[in-house]
Amino acid sequence: MGTPIRINRYLALNQYCSRREADKLIEQGQVLINGKPAVLGMLVKENDKISLRSGFKKVEAGRVYLAFNKPVGIVSHGPEGNQKSIGDIFRYKTRVFPVGRLDKDSHGLIILSNDGRITGRLLDPEFEHEKEYLVEVDKSIQGGFLKKMSGGVRIGDSLTRPCRVSPVGSNKFRIILTEGKKRQIRKMCLALNYVVKDLKRVRILNIELGNLKPGGHREIKDEELSLFLSAIGIRK
């Protein structure tokens, strides 16, 4: 760390907590710099000693990770007009937020959490984390459709990354992506003259949708959680 950085960014980069959590801890007097309470916006230099009081343990113990089956017609972020969001149909004892997006017309797995550390690590395409989908299109799959999908499809000015695609039925296929452009699968299919009729996300890394019903949830914990956090480079 050559250049001084803000204390909340330092704590986030070193995986203590998210920046928002860091600001709360600083306000509570739980963060110490060289033995003295930190102040919001304070800069940390290379030789500074950073420590946290017991308050950090309370934040850590309160982290929640849920697998949620988002129904069709529900938006994951920014509802407009009469649209309903996940927050409108689901309440948990601890406030959680969707990590990533799943468009209104799609359904399936989305992770809900109050751990701000995981957002960037999970969503940054640089890390190439796998997401798996089951897709139904409007007509029988013919010709080199699957080969073209797996090799990369041009969407606008960009070419999608190579991915894994396998048939499931005459007009259904499974696709595993390592990137997440907006409405990517729908646009890939449309570029090849197919229209998506149903799109269901069934896996994110090691987290599987399983038999969760629409609107249902389960807690991600124990070994499943450890594997997930380890895969995105975060300490439990």
Q: What is the pLDDT along the chain (236 residues), one digit of tens a residue?
A: 568 888 888 887 776 666 777 888 888 888 888 988 899 988 988 888 888 775 454 444 488 999 999 999 999 887 788 899 998 999 888 888 899 889 999 999 999 998 888 888 888 777 889 999 999 999 999 889 999 999 999 998 899 999 999 999 999 999 999 998 889 999 999 999 999 999 999 999 999 999 999 999 999 999 999 999 999 988 76
Q: For residue 236, count other CB atoms closer than 10 A to its CB.
A: 9
Contacts with 146 (C-beta within 8 Å, 6 or more apart), sequence order: 165, 166, 167, 173
Stated length of the chain: 236
Q: Which tokens go with 65?
A: 């990770």
Q: Which tokens go with 91?
A: 């309440």
For the CA atoms of 104, 110, 114, 120, what is the dihedral angle to 10 degrees?
-90
Q: Tell me if residue 103 is catalytic.
A: yes
Tell me how far apart the alpha carbons of residues 124 and 148 are, in angstroms, rounded to a whole number. Answer: 25
From 23, 88, 103, 115, the catalytic residue: 103
